[in-house]
Amino acid sequence: MLVDSHCHLDRLELGAHDGSLDRALAAARERGVGHFLCIGVSADNADAVCELAARHEDVDCSVGIHPLDLEADAAPSLDWLLEQLARPHVVAIGETGLDYHYEPQAAERQQTSFRLHLEAARRTAKPVIVHTREARQDTLALLREADLPQAGVLHCFTEDWAMARAALDLGFYISLSGIVTFRNAEALREVAKKIPADRLLVETDSPYLAPVPHRGKPNLPEYVREVAEFLAELRGEPFEALAERTTDNFYRLFPLARRR
């Protein structure tokens, strides 16, 4: 069994499944995907992800404000985060983090929000899902400063080995998406070979970043299989072993996820 550890089920483009999320989930299950973690990105979609988790036994969710979804007047409050984290089936906090690629001018606002999420993670003991892009030093500095007792994950990882090593040393997991299959991702593939088997997760980040051979099309949770197959081959591991390890890792990192 595989787990899609990071997908945006409320944002999928479902043309390939006649517009039906149920059909998209069924297609994924048929390809061995047995669990989905649906990720919150804003105050606006918190209800949507919670409703999806309530409707499907194999869907759990997270809530948080994506660094690129922060509006000047819409920084989350700690109270709001704690309230959301107390809802049923919310097994993690995020995605949160720092993205200086698209919004370098918003660094300070992003850091304030990231710190709030880390504080909420501390108070609830829920794992944090971190989005980081072109912000290596600051991301690591804030994670060190938070010094959380529980593990978290750097999702859709695209950074170098030094960053991966530092995150692993902090007890974090590393999640890889379809980007690792892209032709120009040679450096990331070298990193992917070195991630310890007991700290690796797989994800689609659908509807974004479809893996080869679906690149350029809307991504779907069923394509986590392509990501996992590619990684198994790259790392020289049997597919079944990689599927089992990444699934075990998922349930160890997210102990509140409903195991069937």
Q: Which residues bind Zn ion (CB under 5 A)?
A: 95, 131, 205
CA distance 177 to 182: 10
Compute the least distance from the CB of residue 99 to Zn ion, in Å. 8
Q: Which of 161, 162, 205 is nearest to 182 (CA)?
A: 205
By beta-carbon proximity to Zn ion, the closer residue of 126 and 131 is 131
At 1, is the secondary structure helix, strand, or coil? Answer: coil
By beta-carbon proximity to Zn ion, the closer residue of 172 and 232 is 172
Compute the least distance from the CB of residue 192 to Zn ion, in Å. 18
By beta-carbon proximity to Zn ion, the closer residue of 232 and 250 is 250
By beta-carbon proximity to Zn ion, the closer residue of 38 and 231 is 38
CA distances from 16 to 23, 210, 218, 259 (A): 9, 13, 9, 28
By beta-carbon proximity to Zn ion, the closer residue of 159 and 205 is 205
Helix axes 186-194, 161-169, angle to 10 degrees: 30
Extract long-range pairs of 22-26: CB within 8 Å, 24+ residues apart: 24/220, 24/221, 24/222, 25/56, 25/58, 25/59, 25/221
Tokens of 238: 């049997």
Compute the least distance from the CB of residue 24 to Zn ion, in Å. 17
Q: Are 61 and 48 in contact (CB under 8 A)?
A: no
By beta-carbon proximity to Zn ion, the closer residue of 132 and 247 is 132
By beta-carbon proximity to Zn ion, the closer residue of 131 and 199 is 131
Compute the least distance from the CB of residue 72 to Zn ion, in Å. 21
Compute the least distance from the CB of residue 70 to Zn ion, in Å. 13
CA distance 11 to 49: 10
173-176 β-sheet, strand order: 2-7, 33-38, 59-63, 90-99, 128-133, 153-154, 173-176, 200-202
Compute the least distance from the CB of residue 67 to Zn ion, in Å. 8
Distance of CA 126 to the CA centre of its chain: 14
At 36, is the secondary structure helix, strand, or coil? Answer: strand
- Closest residue to Zn ion, judged by C-beta, is 131
Compute the least distance from the CB of residue 44 to Zn ion, in Å. 15
